[in-house]
Amino acid sequence: MMNFNLFLAADSAINHIMLTFGGAMFFGVMFILLAHKLRVSAIVILLVGGITLGNIGTFIGIPELNVIRPNVLGDGLRTIIGLAVGIILFEGGMTLNVKGFKEASKEIRNILFRGVLVTWLLSALLIWLLMDYSFLFSLLAASLIIVTGPTVIGPLLKRIGVKKKIHHILHWEGVLIDAIGVFVALLCFKMIQVESDSGYAIALWELLKRIAIGIAMGGAAGGILLAVLHRKWVDEENLNIFMLSAAVAIFTISDLMIHESGLLSVTIAGFIVGLKDLPEVKKLKVYKAELIELLIGLLFVLLAARLDMASFHKIGFKGFILVLAVMFIVRPANIFISTVGSKLNIKEKLFLSWIGPRGIVAASMASLFALDLSGLGLPSSDNAWFLETFTYSVIMGTVIFQGFTAKWVGGLLGVLEPEPRGWMIVGANRFGRDVARYIRKQGFPVVLVDTNIHEIALAKRAGLVALEENAMNIDFEDHPELYGIGNVIALTENSNLNALLCNHFKQEDNEMRLFKWVDPSSEIAKDKDRPGKNIWSVVTGSQLRSYNSAETKDRLSTVALSEVDEREFEHILLNVQNNHIHPEFIPSNKQQDEAEVLLFSHEQVGFKLNCREHWVKATEQSELQGIYRKMLTLLKSDYPNLNIDEIQKRLMEQDRNYSSYVGYGVALPHLHIHGLDESVVMVTRVCGPLKDSHVGEDVDLMFMVLSPESSPKAHLKSISEISKFIMDEDNRNGLLKSKRSEDMLQVFFPHK
pLDDT digits (tens, 9 = 90+) for 396-427: 888 888 878 888 888 898 888 767 778 899 99
Could you count the other beta carbons within 10 Å of the beta carbon of residue 484?
Answer: 20
Residue 85 has pLDDT above 50, yes or no: yes
Q: 165-169, 279-283, 547-551, 737-741: which range is least confident on average? A: 279-283
Q: How far apart are CA 216 and CA 196, in angstroms?
A: 30
Residue 605: pLDDT band with limits 50, 70, 90: very low
Supply the pLDDT for residue 10. 46
Q: How far apart are CA 721 and CA 713, in angstroms?
A: 12
Residue 331 has pLDDT above 90, yes or no: yes
Q: How far apart are CA 222 and CA 231, in angstroms?
A: 14
Q: How far apart are CA 390 and CA 131, in angstroms?
A: 11
Closest CA to 148 of 184, 180, 123: 180
Residue 1: pLDDT band with limits 50, 70, 90: very low
Could you count the other beta carbons within 10 Å of the beta carbon of residue 682?
Answer: 22
Bridge pairing between strands 555-560 and 580-582 = unpaired
Residue 330: pLDDT band with limits 50, 70, 90: very high
Q: In residues, how long is the chain?
A: 752
Whether residue 730 contacts residue 545, with contact meaning beta carbons closer than 8 Å, is answered with no
Residue 553 has pLDDT above 70, yes or no: no
Q: 37-51, 185-199, 390-404, 713-727: which range is least confident on average? A: 185-199
| Statement: the pTM of the whole predicted model exceeds 0.75 | no
Could you count the other beta carbons within 10 Å of the beta carbon of residue 387?
Answer: 27
Closest CA to 239 of 298, 296, 279: 279
Q: 24-28, 60-64, 147-151, 630-634: which range is least confident on average? A: 60-64
Q: How far apart are CA 52 and CA 31, in angstroms?
A: 12
Supply the pLDDT for residue 8. 40
Whether residue 186 contacts residue 214, with contact meaning beta carbons closer than 8 Å, is answered with no
Question: Residues 99-105: what's their mean pLDDT?
Answer: 58
| 3-state secondary structure at position 5 | helix
Supply the pLDDT for residue 551. 63
Query: How do the domains of the chain map onto residue ranges?
Result: 2-413, 422-601, 613-748
Task: Kindly give, in sequence order, each residue whose CB lies less than 8 Å from that of residue 419, ignoring residues fewer than 6 positions away.
Answer: 486
- H-helix segments, 258-308: 262-275, 279-306
Q: Does residue 127 or residue 619 have the better pLDDT? A: 127
Q: Does residue 458 or residue 731 have the better pLDDT? A: 458
Residue 333: pLDDT band with limits 50, 70, 90: very high
Whether residue 503 contacts residue 529, with contact meaning beta carbons closer than 8 Å, is answered with no
The 533-535 sheet, strands edge to edge:
465-468, 446-450, 422-426, 485-490, 513-517, 533-535
Most confident region among 19-23, 281-285, 471-475 by mean pLDDT: 19-23
Closest CA to 543 of 497, 489, 605, 590: 605
Determine phi and psi for 421, rounding to 5 degrees.
-105, -10
pLDDT in tens, 615-669: 888 888 888 888 888 888 888 888 888 888 899 899 888 888 877 888 888 888 8
The H-or-E segment that residue 617 falls in is strand 616-619
Task: Kindly give, in sequence order, each residue whose CB lies less than 8 Å from that of residue 335, ignoring residues fewer than 6 positions away.
Answer: 111, 115, 349, 352, 353
CA–CA distance from 211 to each of 78, 91, 143, 270, 383 (Å)? 21, 20, 17, 16, 28
CA dihedral 236, 238, 243, 244 (to 10 degrees): 140
**Helix orientation angle between 262-275 and 197-231, rounded to the nearest 10 degrees:** 30
The H-or-E segment that residue 578 falls in is none
Helices (H) and strands (E) in the chain, counts: 28, 16
Q: How far apart are CA 471 and CA 466, in angstroms?
A: 12
CA dihedral 304, 306, 308, 311 (to 10 degrees): -80
Determine phi and psi for 147, rounding to 5 degrees.
-75, 140
Residue 127: pLDDT band with limits 50, 70, 90: very high
- H-helix segments, 355-452: 360-374, 384-396, 403-413, 430-441
Residue 724 has pLDDT above 90, yes or no: no
Question: Residues 266-270: what's their mean pLDDT?
Answer: 84
Whether residue 303 contacts residue 43, with contact meaning beta carbons closer than 8 Å, is answered with no
**Same fold flag, 2-413 and 422-601:** no
**CA of residue 277 relative to chain centroid, distance:** 16
DSSP classification of residue 343: S
Q: Which residues pair with 489 in a beta bridge?
A: 425, 515
What average pLDDT is seen over the chain? 80
Question: Residues 254-264: what's their mean pLDDT?
Answer: 80
Report DSSP letters for 531-570, one per residue: SSEEE-TTS-HHHHHHHHTT-S--EEEEEEGGGS-GGGGG
Question: Residues 429-435: what's their mean pLDDT?
Answer: 90
| 3-state secondary structure at position 261 | coil
The H-or-E segment that residue 466 falls in is strand 465-468
Supply the pLDDT for residue 510. 64
Question: Residues 7-21: what's their mean pLDDT?
Answer: 66
Residue range 613-748, CATH number: 3.40.930.10
**CATH match for 2-413 among 2.40.30.20, 1.10.420.10, 3.30.1490.20, 1.20.1530.20:** 1.20.1530.20
Task: Kindly give, in sequence order, each residue whose CB lies less than 8 Å from that of residue 154, ignoring residues fewer than 6 positions away.
Answer: 95, 171, 174, 477
Query: What single letter denotes the amino acid at residue 732?
Result: R
Residue range 422-601, CATH number: 3.40.50.720
Closest CA to 545 of 519, 527, 522, 521: 519
Q: Does residue 573 or residue 479 have the better pLDDT? A: 573
pLDDT in tens, 190-209: 778 776 455 667 767 777 88
Residue 6 has pLDDT above 50, yes or no: no
Residue 5: pLDDT band with limits 50, 70, 90: very low
Residue 86 has pLDDT above 60, yes or no: yes
Give me the percent of the chain exceeding a pLDDT of 70: 86
Closest CA to 388 of 695, 81, 86: 81
Residue 693: pLDDT band with limits 50, 70, 90: low
Whether residue 564 contacts residue 599, with contact meaning beta carbons closer than 8 Å, is answered with yes
